[in-house]
Each structure stands twice: as structure tokens, then as C-alpha cells.
Amino acid sequence: MTDIHHPLSAVRSNQVVIQGGYWGERQTTNCTRTIPAIYHQLKITNRTDAWHLHGGDADPRHDHQIVHKFWDSDLGKWLEAVGYSLDNHADPELERLADEVIATIEAGQLPDGYLNSYFTVVEPDQKWRNLRDWHELYDAGHLMEAANAYFQATGKRTLLDTLVRFADHIDARFGPGDHQRHGYCGHPEVELGLVKLYRATGERRYLNLAKYFVDERGQSPNFFDIEAAERGDDPTKFWAKSYHYCQAHAPLREQKTATGHAVRAAYLYAGAADIAAETGDQSLLETCRVLWDDLTSKQMYITGGLGPAHANEGFTFGYDLPNESAYAETCASIALVFWAKSMFDIDPDSRYTDVMERALYNGVMSGVSHEGSEFFYANPLASYPYVNPHEHFSGINSARYYRRSEWFVCPCCPPNLARVVANLGTYFTSHSADTIFLHLYNHSHIRIPLATGTVQLDQETHYPWAGDVQLTVRVEQPMPFKLALRIPDWCHHFSLRVNGQTTSADVQRGYALIDRVWSNGDRVELSLTMPVERIASHPNVRHNAGHIALQRGPIIYCLEEVDNGSNLANVIIPREAKLLGQTDSSLLGGVGVITGEGARVEPATWAGGLYQPQSKLQYTTQPISLKAIPYSLWANREPGEMRVWLREQ
């Protein structure tokens, strides 16, 4: 349909006005609750004034309980979220707060362009000494993304100019030249930031630097070995044991499996895809495809969660997807969304946008409470009273339930959620000169500038709770273009009508293509059959053997104790159980639920002890009414057990 030399165009968030429905409500909550709640936390933890704290003992950054070297990234992600939000809706008071923060950032910049609150104030002699662990380029990347978003929304150049000066500083210091450092950041992110800065300024040096960082990563001799030796550290005593952790064990183009810290991995891959888009680098695209296949076919939770292991916050090996101990960091699913969209725009195929949708509705949105001000860092797929080994190393005999928190010592996830929800419009659509791809369905008004004129689409739907989508095309005069509507992977039957006439659209790479001359007011009706599906895992996923998950449309459901009682492991979904998808208007503002027939299988009596011969037991199968709610909404009511994968019979 297109090739990498002509990547599709993304739209700005404000070209998609999301009107109510699932995402409209989420965007409103993001605006009114999440962004202010995060600002409050940034303020009370002194992040908003970080460049101007004096660095003495009174400086909270000296207490490692509450400081990390990447404070600036938290500020950056919040400013980026504010940028997108202002692009969607003016908010003078929010803009004033952001301008204040931006002024402190600008004032904190050193004359040579260097910018980092920790290394400017707390350890000024330690700049650039540990790229592996200390996140200066990671911070820079997030501030660049913020600068791009804020400039785009407000036209104000202060933050953009500040980051341009910092980017120039970085570009002078790092690169292939003899007098430059051949380094790159332990935590990928600056690659994404530099591409955005390139897009905002047109300065190709930034794109080249991003590509340099990707290409230099993992080369021999390894830069992290070199700088460790320079610091007087033993490179073999890297705390994370292996450079797999930061995807620097080999050059990226030689990597075949998603590995290490999941957020680092997905940021790197997303950055590589962006660079491939801008440079037409076919081999980099191939690398991304190989990693995409590995990750999505062997290492992705059904929720779009990534990274099963707490130990490395990341990947382990294929088909290793434990549920209760799943790490599945919110940020990793967000990074997957970035990557998916970038992949689609250079390799248009619903394999990417299906995953994007899966992650958005499930693994991303589980990261924030329905009310909008509490957050998950890890997103397990089953939950029981538990002992957090980090908080209660002693394993004391008191367990509690996993709940969302207002903030974290490392609060990367909350502002990441804020920016992805504020920028949601950009994930709705992509376009070439003559084709509009529609990825996400939600009540909305979309404006696309094609080569031959602007197209507006009015989208009416109750998606994701129902599968009917109505589109009205607004054009100034009749014009030909192709409308490509995603037929989601979960949908096995769909129908399409144009102006009331059934149309048998050609489905290419997951998109139903309608190629016609469109007139103003043309009406498209897409009907996606949305039954309750019982989903099985690949037979190599040992954790889910004998279990199914319930899915309806793009939504993965779960059982919670509050609806279904405790000991959910004893609840069975019979093979022939009738399961009904419907909307429960009384639940959390009105959401889809699945109700149906289940059974609770337990011994009628238990003689005592932990183990009994089955020959002495009489099992009873008690029919029960099940109620499953969207996974992303768990832990919004009374604490209790939760399960996504349910025993079947």
C-alpha cells in the first residue's frame, strides 16, 4: 500500500476532537483530575523548583528515598501532557502554571546549553560520567518531547529554544567524530525526543544524532565498559549483570528478541521506527519487524502488558507470562502504543494497530484509576492478598491487596499516562496523500488534510461497548480518496454500508478499503459483530493451560471478588456457558460487563489440614452468576481478588 520512503502522516491530537464516549470521558478525567493531580505531586516533591534548590543538606535530593537523577523526565512528561491538552482545549490557568515551570527550566540552563537539575545543582562535577545509569539523555529526550508538544500547542518558543540549545550541546559532545564521545544513554528515550525536535525545527542534525545513538548502541568495544573503566569502576560488576538489560549487548540490527527492561526496549524500538520513517532505512525497519514479531507473538500479555519480571522490570523468555507476578509496567504498554503507531505509519498493517488498541484499552488504562488520580506501576493479571517483597522483605504474615497509588518514588507512569491520553487523537488515524486510515472508533470529529482537500469525518458510535460505527463524510466538493477502516483482529464478521447500500469492501492488511469519489454527507455504516469471546493462550503458555480469558470487542475482562466472591481460582466457566455482553449503566459511569453462567467447584467438606486424598472428598459444583468487568477498571471498588484467566471445564 505504501513503502517506507513515503511514510504515512500522523495527525495532531487537535485534529481529532473526541466527543464523549469511552475516550471522551477518559480525556476529560485526564484534564480535570490527572494533570492537576500530577502537578500537585510535582510541586510538593519540589520537582517544579528543582533547578533552583541550592543543593545543601536541606535539598530533598540528598535523601535518596525521594530523589532520583531523572526528576526532569517527570516534569517533561507533565509539560508534554499539558501541551497536548492545551492543543485540545484552551486552559489559561494551566498554561500559566506550565509557563512558570518552563521559566524555571530555562533559568536553570547553563551557559553552554547543559540542562539537568540534578547534575547542575547536586553533583555538578559528575556530568556525563555514567550514561549507563544516570539518565541525562533520557531526561533530555522527555524535555524535547515536551518542547515539541508545547510549541505546537501554544506557539511559544521558550522551551523549544531551551531544548534546541541543549540538543546542540549534546550534538557537539556525542557523535562519531574523533573528539566526540561515542556514547548513548542506558535508558533509550532521547532518540524519540530528537526525532520530534527534528520534526519541530527541521534541523537534520537532530535526526542524524538520533540515528547515531541507535547505531552506536551495543557496538564493540562497549561504551559502557569504557566509561565504567574511566570512572574507576569494574565494568564486569554492572549491577544489572548484563547489557541485555539496556539493549546494549549487541548492535540493534543484530538483535532478534525483545530483551531486558521493557520500557527501555520499547522506547528504543519506537525510536528506531521513527528514524526508519524519516530516513527510509529499510534494514532498521526489518529489525523492528523481527522484534515486533518476537514481542507480540511470544512475550506480550493479553492486555498488551510487557515484561513479566520484577527483577529487571522486563522480559524473560518466550511464553513466560505469569499472571499474579506480572510486572507489565504501565509505561511499557504506553511505549508499545508509540511503537505500534510508528510501525503502522511505515508498514501499514492492522497487526500494529490491533496491538495498539489492545494495549490502550487494557494494559495502559489499567494504569490509572477511574477517578483519575491514582496509578498502577505494575499491572498484574491476577491479584490476591499479597506480601510485597520490596516493602515487606520479612514476609510478615499479613497480606494486603494490590491497589493504585497517588505517586511513586520513581513516578514515571503517572505523567506517561497523562501524555498518552491527552494525545490520544493522534492514534485515531493516519493518512497518505489519498488514503485515510481509521484505527480507533469513538464518537469524534476528525479533520484530515489530503492532497486534494480537507476531509472531515463525523464518527458516531458506542464503541467499545457496541460494534456499530457511523461515519459522515464532510467535503467541500466531491473528491476521490480511499477510506480504510480497521477491521479489528477480534472481529470475525463485519458488514459495511455506504449511503445505505451494502458494500463488499476489499480488506487489505486488516483494513476495509472504500475507494470512491466522496460527496458531502456521504454516510458509511460499519458494523463489527462483537460477541463475547473465550480466548485461549498459545499451548506453550503454561500459566494459562486450562484457562480462558473473556474478551468482547477490544476489551479484556476480569472477575473481581466484589462481584463474584473470593477464591476465584475455584470458579469455573463451563464450556457451554451462556455469556452475555451488555452495558451496566450503574457501574463506574456505565461500562460493558459480561454476565453469565459459572460454577464454583469446591469440596463439600474439608477434614482439615492442607492435603486430602481425593478419594475422601466429595466435590460440589454450585452454579453461580458471574460478572466480569473490564480489566482496566479493576481495583476501583472494594479491595479483593482479581483474575483475568479463568478455569474452564
393 binds its own copies (CB under 8 A): yes
- CB of 188 vs its own copies, minimal distance in Å: 15
Q: Cα–chain-centroid distance for residue 4?
A: 24
Q: Does 82 bind its own copies (CB under 8 A)?
A: no
Smallest gap, in angstroms, from Cβ of residue 383 to its own copies?
11
Inter-residue contact 228 to 169 (CB < 8 Å): no
Provide the 3-class DSSP secondary structure of residue 394: coil
Residue 603 binds its own copies, judged by CB under 8 A? yes
From the list 95, 136, 313, 525, the catalytic residue is 313
Indicate the DSSP class of residue 550: E
**Residue 613 near its own copies by CB under 8 A:** yes
Q: What are phi and psi of 113, to 5 degrees?
A: 100, -15
Size of the site for its own copies (CB under 8 A): 85
DSSP β-bridge partners for residue 619: 603
In this structure, what C-alpha cell is assigned to residue 191? Answer: 532518540
C-alpha cell recorded at residue 642: 482479581
In the complex, minimum distance from the CB of residue 167 to its own copies, in angstroms, rounded to a whole number: 30
In this structure, what C-alpha cell is assigned to residue 357?
A: 488498541
- 66 contacts its own copies (rule: CB under 8 A): no
CB of 610 to its own copies, least distance (A): 5
Q: Among 187, 196, 298, 431, indicate the residue that binds its own copies (CB under 8 A).
A: 298
Q: How far is the CB of 627 from its own copies (least distance, A)?
A: 20
Taking alpha carbons only, the member of 10, 41, 19, 7 closest to residue 418 is 41
What is the Cα–Cα distance from 161 to 113, expressed in whole angstroms? 10
Question: Judged by CB under 8 A, which of 291, 343, 548, 635 binds its own copies?
Answer: 548
CB distance 108 to 49 below 8 Å: no
412: annotated active-site residue: yes
- The residue among 58 and 604 lying less far from its own copies, judged by its C-beta, is 604
Pairing of strands 16-18, 382-383: unpaired
- Report residue 40 as a C-alpha cell: 500537585
399 contributes a contact to its own copies by CB under 8 A: yes
Query: What's the Cα-to-Cα distance from 522 to each of 288, 406, 497, 499, rounded to whole Å?
Result: 38, 47, 11, 6
Q: By CB under 8 A, is residue 570 in contact with its own copies?
A: yes
Helix (H, G, I), strand (E, B) or coil at 649: coil
Which residue shows C-alpha cell 458509511? 524
Measured between alpha carbons, how far is 114 from 165 in angstroms, rounded to an integer?
8
Instruction: Kindly tell me which residue out of 540, 621, 622, 625 binds its own copies, with binding defined by CB under 8 A.
Output: 540
Q: Which member of 412, 413, 491, 558 is catalytic?
A: 412
Only one of the segments 52-60, 104-112, 139-147, 604-612 lies at the binding site for its own copies (rule: CB under 8 A); that segment is 604-612
Instruction: Kindly report whether the peptide bond that precedes residue 415 is cis, defined as omega within 30 degrees of 0.
Output: no
Instruction: Report the nearest approach of its own copies to the CB of residue 514 (Å).
Output: 27
With binding defined as CB under 8 A, does residue 155 bind its own copies?
Answer: no
Q: Could you tell me the sign of the dihedral formed by the alpha carbons of 577, 582, 584, 588, in that order?
A: positive
Positions 238 through 277 that interact with its own copies (CB under 8 A): 239-245, 249, 257-260
Position 120, amino acid: T
Mark the segment that binds its own copies (CB under 8 A) among 125-133, 189-197, 544-552, 631-639.
Answer: 544-552
In the complex, least distance from residue 295 CB atom to its own copies, rounded to whole angstroms: 10
* Of residues 157 and 616, the one with the C-beta less far from its own copies: 616
Residue 403 is a binding residue for its own copies (CB under 8 A): no
Q: Which stretch binds its own copies (CB under 8 A): 8-16, 420-428, 472-480, 615-623?
A: 615-623
Q: Which residues are catalytic?
A: 313, 412
